[in-house]
Amino acid sequence: MRHSKARWATALLAVTFAGSVGAANTGIPNNPPLLKAGTFDPPRPAPDFDLPGSNGGELRISSYRGKVVLLAFGYTSCTAVCPTTLNTFAVARSKLAATAADVQVVYITVDPQRDNPARLKKYLGAFDASFVGGTGTEQQLAAVRKTYGVTAEKKVVGDSYAYEHSSFTYLIDRSGRIRALMPYGHSPDDYVHDLTVLLKE
Amino acid sequence: MIRGRALTFTVLAAASLVALAVVGYTPIHSASRDEIFAIPKGTWARRMSGDKVEILPDHIRLTLGIRDILVLRNQDNVPQIFGPTLMMPGQSFRLPFERAAEYTFACTAHASGQMTIVVEPNPTTPWARIRWRLMDLLSTLG
């Protein structure tokens, strides 16, 4: 009985000793990350595309060199992710005030069947008149998604359909490089933080 | 003899309590906040030859302030969809977390089609620190 207790005590001591060693590990933590978003190292050039745009012309990501671009993928019938994300962009832009002119939101649809340039313009304009959207054929849009690692899967819902699609946003710097990826759900202030960092470069 | 054993037991129990107090009351510091996952060179070739290569678990646990930065590295020769993102060869992706919550990401590398990251709050109470250290020790031991 006493042997048993001693063994238990020894085991407990061993575990807590190991923990104590861990507790004594007081290394210097890494520097805090520069951005709230996930960052790429090294950043790669944002793949260019040429799509019918909501601005009435051709939409190319390369047209926005010199600006910081927020690039997102979605569709105008989306009821959850897209309105939240676009509203977040609009609030972030309004908080940036004077520097907002150097931030461009680009929104590529995953639903070419419903989202033509006029519909995109009306939808995006409800959030911010400066936002631009891109559409195209199924093949064009699939090719763009592939180069950005974006997924979109059509799901039949009753008589209609919806899409499950990537919900993150790419942050592209003034040089046209994909610097970061912001997961869905971040606040306007997080965007303001990261945009401010990128705008100062 | 019996008295000697009782003394040994008492000393061990007291030492255990002291160690437990140290473990519980000493703040946790980490040399690195990075939780690193890497796709090694040759992974694509192995997959093409039929090997099932699982690198990224479908559930990852992180702790705020201690290990709260997910780092993904593509060391292979081809682009890879890794976690939530497409990564070029030689590229790394560093994603910090600032809020304790459960995050789900679409991830084509997993059969479920998604990856879940559970970010736990920083352990601030003695029992939470003991639990965290014990879990960390167990995961280190495999």
Spatial distance between the Cα atoms of A85 and A168, rounded to a whole number of angstroms = 9
Antiparallel, parallel or unpaired: β A58-59 and B85-87: unpaired
Instruction: Label residue B115 by pLDDT band (50, 70, 90).
Output: confident
**Cα atoms in the Cβ-side hemisphere of radius 13 Å centred on B65:** 11
Q: Which helix H or strand E contains B120, and what residues bound it?
A: strand B114-120
Task: Sort out which chain A residues have CB atoms less than 8 A from B12's CB and list them.
Answer: 6, 9-10, 12-13
- CA B140 to chain A, closest CA, distance in angstroms equals 11
Helices A188-200 and A81-96, axial angle in degrees (round to 10): 50
Amino acid A170: pLDDT: 98
Q: Which helix H or strand E contains B132, and what residues bound it?
A: helix B126-141
Amino acid A14: pLDDT: 55
Instruction: Label residue B13 by pLDDT band (50, 70, 90).
Output: confident
Q: Which residues pair with A181 in a beta bridge?
A: A38, A170
- Considering only CA atoms, which of B51, B61, B128 is closest in space to residue B100? B61
Verify whether the Cβ–Cβ distance B19 to A20 is below 8 Å.
yes
Amino acid making up residue B4 = G
Look up residue A11 and give its DSSP letter.
Answer: H
Amino acid making up residue A18 = A
Spatial distance between the Cα atoms of B22 and B17, rounded to a whole number of angstroms = 9
- CA A43 to chain B, closest CA, distance in angstroms equals 8
10 Å CB burial of residue B13 (0-12, 13-18, 19+) is middle
* pLDDT tens digits, one per residue of B57-70: 888 999 999 999 99
Amino acid A28: pLDDT: 40
Verify whether the Cβ–Cβ distance B19 to A33 is below 8 Å.
no
Interface with A, mutate which of B3, B16, B88 (most A CBs under 10 A): B16
Q: Which residues pair with A70 in a beta bridge?
A: A105, A171
* B120 within 8 A of B61, measured Cβ to Cβ: yes
CB atoms near residue A129 (< 10 Å): 9
For residue A17, the chain B residue with the least C-alpha distance is B19
Antiparallel, parallel or unpaired: β A177-182 and A38-45: antiparallel
Q: Does A5 touch chain B if contact means CB atoms closer than 8 Å?
A: yes
Is B98 strand, coil or helix?
A: coil
* A153 within 8 A of A43, measured Cβ to Cβ: no
Please state whether B64 falls in left (phi above 0), alpha (psi between -120 and 50) or beta.
beta
* pLDDT tens digits, one per residue of A84-105: 999 999 999 999 989 999 999 9
From start to end of A13-159, where are the E strands?
A: 38-45, 51-52, 58-59, 68-74, 103-109, 132-134, 152-157
Amino acid A24: pLDDT: 43
Spatial distance between the Cα atoms of A180 and A190, rounded to a whole number of angstroms = 13
* B58 within 8 A of B112, measured Cβ to Cβ: yes
Verify whether the Cβ–Cβ distance B130 to A148 is below 8 Å.
no
Out of A18, A44, A185, the one facing B88 most closely (by C-beta) is A44
pTM listed for this prediction? 0.83
Spatial distance between the Cα atoms of A103 and B64, rounded to a whole number of angstroms = 31
Cis amide bond preceding B27, omega within 30? no
Q: Does A14 touch chain B if contact means CB atoms closer than 8 Å?
A: no
Q: Establish, for the pair of chains A and B, how many residue pairs have beta carbons separated by less than 8 Å.
A: 122
Instruction: Label residue B1 by pLDDT band (50, 70, 90).
Output: low
Task: Sort out which chain B residues have CB atoms less than 8 A from A32's CB and list them.
Answer: 96
Spatial distance between the Cα atoms of A86 and A164, rounded to a whole number of angstroms = 17
For residue B86, the chain A residue with the least C-alpha distance is A149
- Considering only CA atoms, which of A107, A178, A152 is closest in space to residue B106? A152
Verify whether the Cβ–Cβ distance B32 to A30 is below 8 Å.
yes
* A151 within 8 A of A158, measured Cβ to Cβ: no
Instruction: Per residue of chain A (201 residues), give pLDDT as tens.
Output: 455 555 655 555 555 555 444 444 444 445 557 899 999 999 999 999 999 999 999 999 999 999 999 999 999 999 989 999 999 999 999 999 899 999 999 999 999 999 999 999 999 999 999 999 999 999 999 999 999 999 999 999 999 999 999 999 999 999 999 999 999 999 999 999 999 999 999
- CA B124 to chain A, closest CA, distance in angstroms equals 13
